Amino acid sequence: MYAHVYFVDGLLIDTGQRGVRSILLEQIGQLPVRQIIVTHYHEDHSGNIDLLQRHFDCPVYASPECCEIMKAPPPISFAQRMTWGNRPAYAKLTTIQEQLVTEHHTFQLIPVPGHAQDMIVLYEPEQKWLFSADLYVHHYIGYMLPEESIAQQIQSIRRVLELDFDVLFCGHNPQFKDGKILLEKKLNFLERFFEDVAALYHKGYQAREIFSQLKFKENRITYWLSGGHLSRINMVRAVIRDLS
């Protein structure tokens, strides 16, 4: 369960999970970090804001939605605490929108709600880089959080696929070539999943019935450790919620 942070031209993108804060600081503590940006509030991206802001003594930017959520972030499941570690509230984020400028690059900041309502990606058009947060992760998704929207993810991916990029700096699964092709595969997966669930829902089936009809399976360990917070049934419910 890797979570990546990226450093480019004085900019640190995301802060990693709290469970590895000592190792993280040891690895990046000597970098000339002048700015930090957090792509969204999830604990594997925002876990070390306070630590890194104090260490580098620099501004930490985030979307307006992320700034608000991080004042009192929602609780997480046991599985998430065990895997990533929790993250403390942080009320001193600086709101940023549209673009972030470093010495040699200008990054476009693009809202991509769906996985998280506050999530953004960073796009550098000259280099054709996409720092994609959790927009990709993998072209096949086996579970989701209760609050996720598949319809919004589809729209967000479609919006990003209009950009010219090849390198996909994913928060968990970076792709140094064919990034756009792989993101298209995820879009195809989500569209098919949505259509399959929607078809049965329109016939009158409810979430558990749809789950059974489509012969879906849960990752039992993930399901039980998270108390159902991370589950495939959440994907079915997300479609139903999007249709309502």
**Residue 231 forms beta bridges with which residues?**
144
Alpha carbon distance 236, 244 (integer Å) = 13
Structural domain boundaries, residue 32: 6-243
Long-range pairs of 72-78 with CB within 8 A, sequence gap ≥ 24: 73/41, 73/43, 73/46, 76/43, 76/229, 77/225, 77/226, 77/227, 77/229, 77/230, 78/225, 78/226, 78/227
In a domain, 67, yes or no: yes
- At 125, give phi and psi (nearest 5°): -65, -35
| Contact in structure between 119 and 132 (CB atoms under 8 Å) | no
C-alpha atoms less than 13 angstroms from C-alpha of 172 in its C-beta half-sphere: 13
How many domains, the chain?
1
Alpha carbon distance 136, 226 (integer Å) = 22
In a domain, 1, yes or no: no
The predicted pLDDT at position 84 comes to: 87
Q: DSSP label at 157?
A: H
The predicted pLDDT at position 225 comes to: 84
| Contact in structure between 50 and 90 (CB atoms under 8 Å) | yes
Position 170 confidence tier, pLDDT thresholds 50, 70, 90? very high
Q: What is the pLDDT of residues 116-143, one digit of tens each?
A: 999 999 999 999 999 999 999 999 999 9
Quote the percentage of the chain above a pLDDT of 70.
100
Residue 122 three-state SS? strand
Does position 1 have pLDDT exceeding 80, yes or no? no
- The residue with tokens 């992760």 is 137
In a domain, 179, yes or no: yes
The predicted pLDDT at position 78 comes to: 86
Position 65 confidence tier, pLDDT thresholds 50, 70, 90? very high
Look up the CATH number of the domain holding residue 220: 3.60.15.10
In a domain, 11, yes or no: yes
The predicted pLDDT at position 227 comes to: 87
- The CB density around residue 29, as the number of other CB atoms within 10 Å, is 11
Alpha carbon distance 76, 137 (integer Å) = 20
Quote the percentage of the chain above a pLDDT of 90.
89
Alpha carbon distance 70, 91 (integer Å) = 6
Position 80 confidence tier, pLDDT thresholds 50, 70, 90? confident
